[in-house]
Amino acid sequence: MSVSRDDFSIAFRSALLQRGGAQKFSILSLIILAIFIFFLDVYGFTGIKTARSFINDVVFRVSYIASSPSRILPSAGKGLTSHFNLKEENEKLREVIENYKSLDLNLEYLTNENKNLRKVLNAENIINSKDIVLAKVLVDRNSPFLKTIIINKGTQSGIKKGMPVTQNNYLVGRIVDTNYLSSRVLLLTDLNSRIPVTLDGDSSQAILTGSGTKNPKLEYLPEEYEFKEDINVFASGKERIFIPGTPIGKTTEIGEVKLYVDPNQLSFVTVILTRNNKEKF
Amino acid sequence: MARLNLFNKFLNSGPLLLLYYLSISEIDTNLEKTFDIFTFNLPIIIIYFWILKRPLIMGTGHIFVAGLINDVVMGFPLGISSLSYLVVCFFSNYVRNKSVNTTIASDWFTFFIALIFANLLFFSLLNNFSDIVISYSKISYNTFFTLFLFPIFWLLFSLYQANFIGGQDA
């Protein structure tokens, strides 16, 4: 009995404290160091925040380079396929141009109408081109637990926590972490994402909650609200972070929202430098 | 001869390079885009297998750094992945010290215990000391598929070991 207890304690101690060969450090010392770093980071120690910000900037860029084969290979395949479908593509592009021409005719009229309506509504958040930052997606790691992306613009470009992120004027998410040269965007599909929204039609108010799946859900709708398909969902701007009226997606019959932008297909996004510069988090 | 040595060194470092690459790159073991619930944790399998079979090719310092890099890329609090990797490392070390001859079945069973402890530590720390909310169903799927796929990777890594690294088990 005592021999087996001795065996256990020897094996246990050896597993924790053994060094030599490739094991330059004992597991125990590294566990203590990891716990130390974890608590410094969790409790927001200034030194570790700065260090983390610096490490983030370096690691994100290395990660971008390291991930290039996974980006280049599929696009090279697509390029090759499209090379053989040039004629078809050409016809499609002509159609698109015609479509844009007809849209362009209406644009001026709609812009003027929009300006006038905004004046009537006395909207606070009229943005201009100076208030936006175009950013490239550096890392788009499809984690099972967190739905975030890393963009190549940070505090150097005036980005702060809480700022809304869009693509083609459709809401994508918000900034949750900033470094000097990069930032992390929390996507609308993440479990931690909560956004007040307005539904087109009867202007019902709701909270758009990320569920970790492709389509976020609508919560806190009026009692006995019946879900209908294809109702436009906009940011209500009640939290004073998002621009009121930013389109998000369309409702489905089961109370989910099908987003206008596929969060897995983001290459470039726009960060809106909202005027309320006070950090939200 | 020198070139051959360099090539052998490269082959020996294969698992470590794979661990670093998985930590730093976008390529991960999450195939949610194709199969909704399919996610698994390959770094944990790599660490457990190679610490058990060939501790000389995977230093604990490297495992610690790989964990830190993973935290930065994934947006978790610093040190949390390192802790979970080191727990797996500890279990693997302990099993190596206690057993003379291991089989795929015994490794699978001990890996299950290591995985449970590592994930328990990871998610309880995340739950109690961070604002990040994580779906419990995703954790369960991740744990299940990691455990389920262990024997497949055990065979693949054993083949790699036999063909490119050689020698006896540790």
> Strand order in A232-235's β-sheet?
A217-219, A205-209, A194-199, A232-235, A247-251, A257-259
Give whole-number Cα distances, B164 to A8, A16, B14, B161, in Å: 34, 29, 10, 6
Same domain, A116 and A148: no
Question: In which band, very low, low, confident or very high, does the pLDDT at A33 lie, cut at 50, 70 and 90?
Answer: very high
B36/A213 touch (CB, cutoff 8 Å), yes or no: yes
Give the list of residues 6+ apart from residue A133 with CB closer than 8 angstroms, or none.
A153, A157, A158, A159, A270, A271, A273
Same domain, A110 and A137: no
Same domain, A238 and A170: yes
Tokens of B58: 């995977």
Per the structure, the count of domains in chain A is 2
A139/B26 touch (CB, cutoff 8 Å), yes or no: yes
Q: What are phi and psi of A200, to 5 degrees?
A: -65, 155
State the smallest CA–CA distance between residue B151 and chain A in angstroms: 22
Q: Is the pTM of this model over 0.80?
A: no
Same domain, A117 and A190: no
Enumerate residues 7 to 46 of chain B having a beta carbon within 8 A of any beta carbon in chain A.
21, 24-28, 30, 32-33, 36, 39
Q: What is the mean pLDDT of chain A?
A: 79
Q: Which of B62, B72, B129 to mutate to test the interface with A (most CBs of A within 10 A)?
A: B72
* Residue-range definition of the domain harbouring residue A194: 132-272
The domain spans of chain B are 15-23+39-165
Give the list of residues 6+ apart from residue A22 with CB closer than 8 angstroms, or none.
B55, B56, B57, B58, B59
The β-bridge partners of A256 are A217
Write out pLDDT tens, residues A145-183: 778 888 988 888 889 888 999 988 888 899 988 888 889
A66/B25 touch (CB, cutoff 8 Å), yes or no: yes
d(CA B85, CA B47): 7
What confidence score (pLDDT) does residue A32 get?
92
Q: Is B142 left (phi over 0), alpha (psi -120 to 50) or beta?
A: alpha
Single out the residue in A90, A121, A152 at which a domain terminates: A121
A225 part of a folded domain: yes
What confidence score (pLDDT) does residue A130 get?
60
Residue scoring higher pLDDT (A264 or A175): A175
A147 part of a folded domain: yes
Task: Give A-chain residues touching B93 at CB under 8 angstroms.
Answer: 14-16, 18, 27
Same domain, A103 and A225: no
Question: In which band, very low, low, confident or very high, does the pLDDT at A124 lie, cut at 50, 70 and 90?
Answer: very low
B80/A38 touch (CB, cutoff 8 Å), yes or no: yes
Cα dihedral A71, A76, A79, A81, rounded to 10, equals: -120
Please report the ipTM that was assigned to this predicted complex: 0.88
d(CA B161, CA B153): 12
What confidence score (pLDDT) does residue A220 get?
86
A182 part of a folded domain: yes
For residue A137, the domain's CATH number is: 2.40.10.340
Single out the residue in A93, A121, A149 at which a domain terminates: A121
Same domain, A96 and A177: no
A27/B26 touch (CB, cutoff 8 Å), yes or no: no
